């Protein structure tokens, strides 16, 4: 959607080229190595900017050195979901259950070092409970095993599990952002459920090579932020469970820095690393 709107604004094609792999590192390096002329933009999820630098020992890029922020574009809350057979209908009941059965409950994630993994670890640390991490290769197989009862709980981004929640295959206990989600009006925030300040989300952003000339960066920022003035864009994002966020380069830089500090503490306490 962003590419289509930029194509209209600039009267030239803007092509999306998906370079998946290594939790975003392959796509980032494609931008870092491209000419810094503003013709190659990076659209990336937050974990590649805030988590990867903390857990990968030989990361081929440095966020501050190699990339320049343009703007965040959207935010997706994570949601704590459990198998309906689990005798817990609230965060408090889940904590009590975990305390009564130390080491017996397990939580799935999209993989080692993923946003879901670190959110689960932060919850484990804040709640002082002993639950076991089970990493999967992506969200889909993890959700499949959660629905079938092979694992007990999971922190996943809301759009990935909204259908299963609505169908009753999964039970939503809380969202991980500091504000509730309009898509789950009956689900409290974890912050309100006994863990003040708990805030974890998956968000998306646009960046460019750090060597891109400032006037070019400013033009790109104005165009990307400006397209969100179109009510149709915001409405479509909301339909997908994504809160539109177009707050500019300064806010993106601050967000990267603050989340890096937050995850650094979680990673250090848990000793998380990925080869």
Residues 33 and 8 placed together within one structural domain of the fold:
yes
In a domain, 27, yes or no: yes
Final residue in a domain of this structure, among 175, 194, 225: 175
56 lies in the same domain as 70: yes
Number of domains in the chain: 2
Classify residue 235: in a domain, yes or no: yes
> How does pLDDT run across 52-88, given as a tens digit for each residue?
999 988 899 999 999 999 999 999 999 999 999 999 9
Statement to judge: residues 100 and 158 lie in one domain: yes
91 and 164 fall within a common domain: yes
* 45-236-110 Cα angle (round to 5): 30
Q: Which among 122, 156, 175 is the end of a domain?
A: 175
- For residues 68 and 86, membership in a common domain is answered with no
* Model confidence band, residue 23 (pLDDT cutoffs 50, 70, 90): confident
Range of the domain at 211: 2-75+202-270
Residues 6 or more apart whose Cβ sits within 8 Å of residue 43? 2, 16, 73, 204, 205, 206
CATH number at residue 158: 3.40.190.10
Q: pLDDT tens digits for 139-194? A: 999 999 999 999 999 999 999 999 999 999 999 999 999 999 988 989 999 999 99
β 153-157/106-109 pair status: parallel
How many of the other CB atoms lie within 10 Å of CB of 90? 14
Provide the 10 A C-beta neighbour count for residue 250.
11
| C-alpha–C-alpha distance, residues 176 and 180, integer Å | 9
d(CA 10, CA 223): 9
Are 69 and 108 contained in the same domain? no
pTM of the model: 0.89
């Amino acid at each position: 959607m962003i590419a289509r709107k930029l194509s209209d604004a600039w009267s030239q094609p803007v092509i999306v080229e998906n370079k998946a792999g290594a939790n975003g590192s392959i796509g980032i390096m494609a931008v870092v190595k491209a000419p810094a002329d503003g013709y190659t933009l990076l659209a990336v999820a937050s974990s590649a900017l805030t988590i990867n630098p903390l857990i990968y020992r030989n990361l081929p890029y440095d966020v501050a050195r190699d990339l320049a922020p343009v703007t965040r574009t959207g935010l997706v809350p994570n949601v704590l979901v459990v198998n309906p057979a689990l005798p817990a209908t609230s965060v408090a009941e889940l904590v009590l259950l975990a305390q009564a059965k130390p080491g017996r409950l397990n939580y799935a994630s999209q993989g080692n070092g993923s946003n879901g993994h670190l959110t689960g670890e932060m919850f484990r640390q804040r709640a002082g409970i002993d639950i076991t991490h089970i990493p999967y290769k992506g969200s889909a197989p993890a959700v499949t095993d959660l629905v079938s009862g092979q694992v007990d709980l999971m922190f996943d981004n809301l759009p990935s599990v909204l259908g299963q929640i609505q169908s009753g295959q999964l039970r939503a206990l809380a969202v991980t952002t500091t504000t509730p989600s309009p898509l789950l009006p009956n689900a409290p925030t974890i912050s309100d459920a006994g863990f003040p300040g708990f805030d974890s989300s998956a968000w998306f952003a646009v960046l460019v090579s750090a060597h891109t000339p400032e006037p070019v960066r400013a033009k790109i920022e104005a165009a990307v932020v400006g397209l969100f003035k179109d009510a149709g864009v915001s409405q479509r994002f909301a339909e997908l469970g994504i809160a539109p966020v177009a707050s500019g380069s300064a806010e993106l830089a601050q967000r990267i820095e603050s989340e890096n500090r937050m995850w650094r503490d979680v990673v250090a306490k848990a000793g998380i690393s990925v080869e």
